[in-house]
């Protein structure tokens, strides 16, 4: 992403670290571990982060809220990216930076023997520096306050991505049709303001049913990171349904 290329991630909602390995082996750049819309606990998420490290992809975790204590625990496990949903405008984005970044950028608490610090085997100053430089912070602008302050949020030091969730954004705008011009105009406005800020990129999903966009369309908007839709559970269900359908067809059965 830092080189200007579109980084590709895949969403994880299946409670098994092996799906993370499959995503990595498939060639994705990152795995998007979702704690907002799943029942994942910290123990499972840590196993997924370890699996991501084994296949050399970036583990990004979407937490359920902006609680700094919870974010700290996820970071100490070795997460390389944090996504915070429904950020509460500019002040919420500032609190997110405080939670994710070490001083002097933020207020993240330190512990020298965590998994993220390689159990104390790296020099503390090096760990702080590389963490502040490399750990990705994405804040989701989904509500009225955040989308009205998106230019200020995008200009904030420590914010790497401004994320748009098409479903929640549609609800905020009162839109139900993906082709509604109101949604497209708002996405284009936000994208232009993020691009003008200069130091952040946009995050949006590819081929999302609430606002379907191709890879080239995402790049034109200035998107730096995308999760490729459909999600693995949807892919699995589609393939299993096809297998059942083809088997019945081969046997001459009516479906």
Strands 58-62, 81-84: pairing kind = parallel
Which of 37, 127, 208, 248 is catalytic? The answer is 37
d(CA 221, CA 204): 10
Q: Is 37 a catalytic residue?
A: yes
3-state secondary structure the chain: CCCCCCEEEEEECCCCHHHHHHHHHCCCCEEEEECCCCCCCHHHHHHHHHHHHHCCCEEEEECCCCCHHHHHHHHHCCCCEEEECCCCHHHHHHHHHHHHCCCCCCCCCCCCCCCCCHHHCCCHHHHHHHHHHHCEEEEECCCHHHHHCHHHHHCCCCCCEEECCHHHHHHHHCCCCCCCHHHHHHHHHHHHHHHHHCCCEEECCECECCECCCHHHHHHHCEEEEEECCCHHHHHHHHHHHHHHHHHHHCCCCC
d(CA 25, CA 31): 11
**b/e per residue, 103-134, with b = 16+ CB within 10 A?**
eebbebeeeeebebbeeeeeeeeebbeebbee
Active-site residue list = 37
């Amino acid at each position: 992403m830092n080189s200007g290329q579109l980084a590709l991630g895949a969403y994880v909602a299946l409670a098994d670290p092996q799906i993370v390995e499959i995503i990595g082996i498939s060639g994705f750049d990152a795995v998007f571990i979702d704690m907002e819309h799943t029942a994942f606990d910290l123990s499972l998420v840590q196993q997924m982060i370890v699996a991501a490290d084994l296949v050399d992809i970036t583990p990004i975790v979407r937490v359920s809220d902006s609680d700094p204590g919870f974010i700290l625990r996820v970071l100490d496990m070795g997460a390389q990216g944090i996504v915070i949903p429904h950020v509460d405008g500019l002040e919420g984005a500032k609190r997110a930076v405080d939670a994710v970044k070490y001083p002097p950028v933020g207020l993240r608490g330190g512990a020298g023997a965590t998994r993220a610090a390689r159990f104390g085997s790296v020099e503390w100053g090096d760990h702080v520096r590389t963490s502040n430089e490399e750990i990705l912070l994405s804040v989701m602008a989904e509500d009225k306050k955040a989308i009205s302050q998106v230019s200020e949020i995008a200009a904030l030091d420590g914010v790497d991505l401004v994320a748009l969730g098409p479903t929640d954004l549609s609800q905020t705008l009162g839109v139900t049709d993906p082709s509604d011009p109101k949604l497209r105009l708002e996405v284009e406005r936000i994208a232009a303001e993020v691009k003008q800020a200069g130091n952040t990129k946009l995050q949006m999903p590819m081929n999302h049913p609430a606002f379907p966009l191709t890879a080239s369309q995402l790049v034109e908007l200035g998107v730096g990171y995308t999760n490729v839709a459909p999600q693995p559970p949807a892919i699995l269900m589609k393939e299993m349904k096809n297998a059942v359908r083809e088997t019945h067809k081969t046997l001459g059965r009516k479906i």
